Structure 1
């Protein structure tokens, strides 16, 4: 598959990122946010009518998300992270735009006019502009949606994926594994107790550690660590640690 990548060098929001790629949009458009995990038959979008479809999910606290207001199955209003809830239908970060010409026109107007919210160009404003110009945007519900935008949500997504599929590769010596766990082929685990719900990426080396409910990213090295509910970044170094730890790439922690 041939792909073209466009880099957004400044964090100016969702619409701005798509605007940078506008010259490559000449047909129906599928927009997927990278920090969302959901289950939905994508080909069903092709059977929906109107000018586009947004995938939604009912949530307990809509203040954290962009939400839609529906009338007779069509979206009449989009609100980004409302302080006063107007709907509990959160947009999960998946959009199918059939009328790409109108979308591009509204995108151009939004960016040119500088229509932002807290300094960012939100996609909700562009889509609302489409609706105001007569576009028919519909909503379709998903059954499973995990927002991976926070550490707790990312760990929840890890637990969900491990229930569906787990794997033990690499070198595992004198260790106890409590499933489900995922251990990449090039990982090394020695004298450890791992699991449940632990993902160990490629190139990781873990020794003399007890770890549960955690994600260990590529090429990290852990020794004598006791971790639970933790996120360890790429190339991180951890020697001894408290129960919960969240560190980024190339970090080093010693206790």
Structure 2
């Protein structure tokens, strides 16, 4: 099986964090988003993954490319870098993977993490992963027939047709068939709002005999902006608590309290502080005289005399709050 990860977007909603780091390489619970995504995929399949193709912008640079290839190699697969030089839509992005579109193919867009306990049925023609949502009008959804097969893809329906929202994770048994369908869109210039869309290719495949099924995830986690990423970090910590080693043995914790679940990375020092719950301190972070909850502090940052919640600090940040001198009379309230 091959995996394709389209991730060429520049992550503008995550700025300033994406000015120096590609969004899929931002950490959640101690690992880059894209690594968590690939691990989620591998957990749903017993098949060996031969190749992982990362669709990126050439602007990401060689350091990002090397990091992505090392993620693939650590998971026992060959890493392949493919470029989408112009953002022309989801179908165009996937087509940039070239000959990775062969055999069994799993496609997942890099904004998405998910919690699932099922296994992929690789004999099915195609699977589109979904989650039930309260307001389907904001999503692309799938409509099912009585056999629980997908009979239609509906983009942001004004009237209710289904509450199963497409989360951006797909399986195709025949990658070459998909490649031909994507190329058909390009050759015939079939666009929606100026872009070539994967859903148009899937609609044509559905109308020509390919059977699509839905796989429902237990939880769909987004990393599209700061608040969503901090929330996702907390949920991953909850999910991995007790299942994954979250406190590195080289961390030094002195006169401090760690309220789980938290990720404490290699070489972290915590002094006279309270950390947690739902906090990730990446490699080399130094915290002293502080209280941190529900936050991500990236590598080699320094936090001192601070009280932080629902926050995200980048790499090599120094953040210090000045102690206050107070003179407050009886029966006062300071907020």
Mapped to 1, the partners of 2:255 and 2:205 lie a distance apart of: 61
Q: Secondary structure at the match of 1:161?
A: helix
Which among 85, 90, 97 is matched to residue 21 of structure 1? 97
Mapped to 1, the partners of 2:314 and 2:194 lie a distance apart of: 29
In structure 2, do the counterparts of structure 1 residues 83 and 232 end up closer, same or farther at CA, with 3 Å as the change threshold?
farther
1:6 corresponds in structure 2 to 82
Q: Which runs of 5+ in 1 are unaligned?
A: 242-255
1:59 corresponds in structure 2 to 133
What's the offset of the Cα at 1:146?
2.2
For 1:24-39, list aligned pairs within 5 A: 24-39=100-115
Counterpart check, 1:196 vs 2:277: yes
In structure 2, do the counterparts of structure 1 residues 61 and 237 end up closer, same or farther at CA, with 3 Å as the change threshold?
farther
Deviations 1:99-123 (A, max 9, x none): 3233111101223334344444332
Q: For the aligned residues, what is the CA RMSD?
A: 2.4
Matched-pair contact (CA < 8 Å) for 2:102–2:174: no
For 1:26-105, list aligned pairs within 5 A: 26-41=102-117, 43-47=119-123, 49=124, 51-72=125-146, 73-105=148-180
Matched-pair contact (CA < 8 Å) for 1:45–1:96: no
Mapped to 1, the partners of 2:81 and 2:127 lie a distance apart of: 24
**TM-score of the pair, normalised by structure 2:** 0.64
For 1:149-228, list aligned pairs within 5 A: 149-166=224-241, 167-169=246-248, 170-228=251-309
Q: Secondary structure at the match of 1:45?
A: coil
What's the offset of the Cα at 1:42?
5.9
Q: Which runs of 5+ in 2 are unaligned?
A: 1-76, 323-335
Q: Secondary structure at the match of 2:150?
A: strand
Counterpart check, 1:239 vs 2:320: yes
What's the offset of the Cα at 1:77?
1.7
Matched-pair contact (CA < 8 Å) for 1:65–1:90: yes
**TM-score of the pair, normalised by structure 1:** 0.82
What's the offset of the Cα at 1:193?
1.7
